[in-house]
Amino acid sequence: MEITKIIYIAISMVFINNFILSKFLGLCPFLGVSRKTKAAFSMGMAVIFVMVFSALLTSLVYAFVLLPLKIVYLRTVFFILIIAAFVQLMEMIIRKQSPPLYKALGIYLPLITTNCAVLGVAILNINDFFAPGISIFAAITYSVLQAFFAGVGFSVALLLMSGIRERLELTDTPLSLKGVPIAFIVASIMSFAFMGFSGFKF
């Protein structure tokens, strides 16, 4: 593994190819949960956790099940089932073992199941790292790292948006723009701002 590759993955996933502001994946929780910073932070941490373990599971299944059996064309179906099953399992475990944590995250876990960003990072990992010349261990490691930094980028976008929306509640926003309309305007401006990072060269 190369340290420069890891740095590239980190900068790329957080800034250049941010899942929300560049790839426009996961917009539903981005707009729905970003009203309050505390909720946005909880959602961000939950997404990082689910993305990392989903990436690990999907990479292992792809490397040791789909590739050997030559059924790679079924990867999307397998990945959806793996992600949904993992999130449901985590929801049951958290509900049983830590009721306070479930109360904090429980409402966000079902949202993560339908979050296309989680599936998007799993498919992106396969396309980027499972290629001839890259060892299985390196491919899985890079996949987990990319998922982690994609989750960090998701959290950064959520926290920025929640901070802006909380400040907007204190301003004299026209009635016709309050709520979702101003959120779309802010999201589009943030997306334009993040486009500036696309000029980075490595």
Residues 132-143 have pLDDT tens digits of: 888 999 999 999
HSE at residue 181, side-chain half, CA atoms within 13 A, is 6
Q: Which residue has the higher pLDDT, 121 or 200?
A: 121
For residue 112, is pLDDT > 90?
Answer: no
pLDDT of 104 reads 65
Range picked from 42-51, 82-91, 170-179, 185-194 for highest mean pLDDT: 185-194
Is 190 among the domain residues?
no
Is 6 among the domain residues?
no
- Could you say which DSSP state residue 20 is in? T
What count of other Cβ atoms lies within 10 Å of the Cβ of residue 121? 28
Which strand (E) or helix (H) includes residue 138? helix 136-168
Q: Which domain holds residue 80?
A: 33-182
Q: Report the domain count for the chain.
A: 1
Is 153 among the domain residues?
yes
Is 173 among the domain residues?
yes
For residue 108, is pLDDT > 80?
Answer: no
Is 14 among the domain residues?
no
d(CA 94, CA 98): 5
Is 138 among the domain residues?
yes
Q: What is the pTM of this model?
A: 0.88
Angle, helices 37-61/75-97, rounded to nearest 10 degrees = 130
How far the first Cα of the chain sits from its last, in Å, is 17
Is 10 among the domain residues?
no
Phi and psi torsions of 35, nearest 5° = -75, -35
Tokens of 71: 């059924």
pLDDT of 106 reads 61
Name the percent of the chain lying above pLDDT 70: 94
Is 2 among the domain residues?
no
Taking CA atoms, 66 is separated from 77, 79, 126, 174, in Å, by 11, 11, 12, 54
Mapped onto helix, strand or coil, the DSSP state of residue 201 is: coil
d(CA 69, CA 86): 23
Tens of pLDDT, residue by residue over 15-44, are: 999 999 998 888 888 888 888 888 888 888
Q: Which residue has the higher pLDDT, 132 or 121?
A: 121
pLDDT of 28 reads 81
Tens of pLDDT, residue by residue over 56-107, are: 999 999 999 999 999 999 999 999 999 988 888 888 887 888 787 677 666 6
Name the percent of the chain lying above pLDDT 90: 49
Tokens of 137: 């261990």
Mean pLDDT, residues 182-194: 91
